[in-house]
Amino acid sequence: MIEPEVASRWRSQAAYDRIAAVLIGVIAILAAVFAVQQAHEGLAGTRAQVEGARLAADAAARIGASSTSFAAGLRAQQDALVVGITGTSRQIEALTAGHEPALAVGAAHVAASQRLAGAVAETLATTGGEPLDGYTAGLVNATNEEIVVIVEEQNRQVDLSIAAGEHQLVAVLGLSLVALAGVLAGIAAVLGRGKAGWLLLAIAWIVALVAAVPAVNWLV
């Protein structure tokens, strides 16, 4: 026959052990959730950061290539105009001076300017055309609208990376709390079923429950 006092002590010890065991199990689950969250958010953040960097490089390349080809085309058209302006100037000067040969030279230059403008237009029409590869063609033919879309997507990726970084920090904070709860549970187990043991066990449970809030949030 077991004395009532002894039986009560056993029951109390059993309750203590059960509460501690469940706490350890909950800590294991929370640690697993935070590990998964940390891995997922870490990868998502890195991916977004990488995509942002690539898009930034792509936008810069498109701006550089398209502005280079555009500026060169503009300059070529101006060169054609300059030939015509020079010819017209010679004609004006020849008329003033009554110099017939210069008038004829000026007229030839004006005619050449018109043909040159046509040749330049024909040349520029081939910019980014066949058989150029798609990537390079995309760079030289990039429009402002396309570049704006890329920059907006680049900004979105940066925002995603920042958000993932914040989630990752929450996971690290959660893991830290779980580790704290684990240590407290360990000390409580060492101290055993005394006042201090119960107190530490209670604090460990509170810490674990606080850590559970972001874990559940993330899962939901």
Considering only residues 44 through 103, tell me which ones interact with other proteins, judged by CB under 8 A. Answer: 46-47, 50-51, 53-54, 57-58, 60-61, 64-65, 68-69, 71-73, 75-76, 79-80, 83, 100-102
Tell me the site size for other proteins, rule CB under 8 A.
77
Question: Nearest approach, Cβ of 204 to other proteins (angstroms)?
Answer: 14
Question: Nearest approach, Cβ of 200 to other proteins (angstroms)?
Answer: 17
Q: Per CB under 8 A, which of residues 168..187 are in contact with other proteins?
A: none
Instruction: Pick the piece of the chain touching other proteins (CB under 8 A) from 15-23, 146-154, 157-165, 197-205.
Output: 15-23
Contacts of residue 49, defined as CB under 8 A and 6 or more positions apart, other chains included, come to: 157, 158, 161
Contacts of residue 43, defined as CB under 8 A and 6 or more positions apart, other chains included, come to: none
Are residues 184 and 15 in contact, defined by beta-carbon separation less than 8 angstroms? no
Nearest to 19 by CA among 143, 200, 149: 200
Q: Per CB under 8 A, which of residues 112..131 are in contact with other proteins?
A: 112-113, 115-116, 118-131
Question: Nearest approach, Cβ of 199 to other proteins (angstroms)?
Answer: 20
Contacts of residue 186, defined as CB under 8 A and 6 or more positions apart, other chains included, come to: none
Describe the crossing of helices 4-97 and 195-219 by its angle, rounded to 10 degrees.
40
**Interface with other proteins, residue 162, by CB under 8 A:** no
> Is the CA virtual torsion 125, 127, 129, 130 positive or negative?
positive
Question: Nearest approach, Cβ of 196 to other proteins (angstroms)?
Answer: 20
End-to-end C-alpha distance for the chain, whole angstroms: 52
**Interface with other proteins, residue 136, by CB under 8 A:** yes
**Interface with other proteins, residue 194, by CB under 8 A:** no
